[in-house]
Amino acid sequence: MVETTTVPRAAVDRDWQSYEDGLMAAIRQIELRHNVICTVALDGHMAKDDTQAWLDAVEAVAKSTTGSTGANPVLSEIGVVTVHSGAVPVPTARFTGAVQQRDGWRRLGRTLSAKAAQVRGPWPAWIRVDCLDGLFQFTDWAKLEPQERLAEIAAAIRELVQWPENAEGVVLSTGPAVSLGATDPTAETATIRTSDGSFVRRLLAPHLLRETLVIPLRKRDNERAGWWEHAYAGEPEWLDQDLEAAGHPPLRDLRNGAEYH
């Protein structure tokens, strides 16, 4: 038995993105109105009225510098917007968002505890979770090497959740995650096995990849852990396998306009 679930983005993450998207949209309008370029560096977020006051100050500086040259910083308690009335030095980041940090275990642990109770029964069970809440992006754990990530998450999963005897393991996935610049399969492909489990990284398409961690709860479950590893290691070929089963040529031939019957 496989029980699947998703840990979705929390409201705080959606609010975080909404704030920064809204701020950048307002900055871009200022740029268009006054023919300037703005670079933004954030250390945090602030209330709507305070943000609007900052934007008003940026607009005033942009208006006053029209036709001149130079860089004019507009400071606030959460960062700086620099108004450039000439060319921006290369390389200069146009937007640097505030650093996000998350307690990755709190929501995942709660999800796994609920699934542990749900799968209790006579059938061997695995729990598969797509972690879309920032665990793989915004935590200190995500910065570790794969071996360390496996060791830390395996210890937490095995020790902090009350598992029934029939539960065999947990599969954690990023889902198909955007990774700008990831285009070379040889550079992105990784399979790492330790006594704690397996780490599988595969490029699914240009700029899109998946990382998967397979964590058996007990050593006797390692054979089925190998099944999971093998399945996700072959994910880049899934579509071609399905096309072949349906009597079609592989995707590369379809892209090249190959004729088929």
Is residue 258 over pLDDT 70? no
Cα 111 to chain centroid distance, Å, stands at 19
Predicted structure pTM score? 0.73
**Nearest Cα to Cα of residue 156 among 179, 172, 175, 134:** 172
What pLDDT, in 10s, does the model give residues 167-221?
A: 999 999 999 988 888 899 899 999 999 999 999 999 998 999 999 999 999 876 6
Coil/strand/helix, residue 36: coil
- Report the C-alpha gap between 187 and 183 in whole angstroms: 8
Is residue 14 over pLDDT 90? no
Is residue 261 over pLDDT 70? no
Is residue 53 over pLDDT 60? yes
Coil/strand/helix, residue 204: strand
What pLDDT, in 10s, does the model give residues 121-168?
A: 999 999 999 998 888 888 889 899 999 999 999 999 999 999 999 999
What kind and span of H or E run contains 212?
A: strand 208-216
What pLDDT, in 10s, does the model give residues 217-242?
A: 987 667 889 999 999 999 988 888 89
- Report the C-alpha gap between 219 and 205 in whole angstroms: 34
What pLDDT, in 10s, does the model give residues 80-98?
A: 999 998 888 888 888 999 8
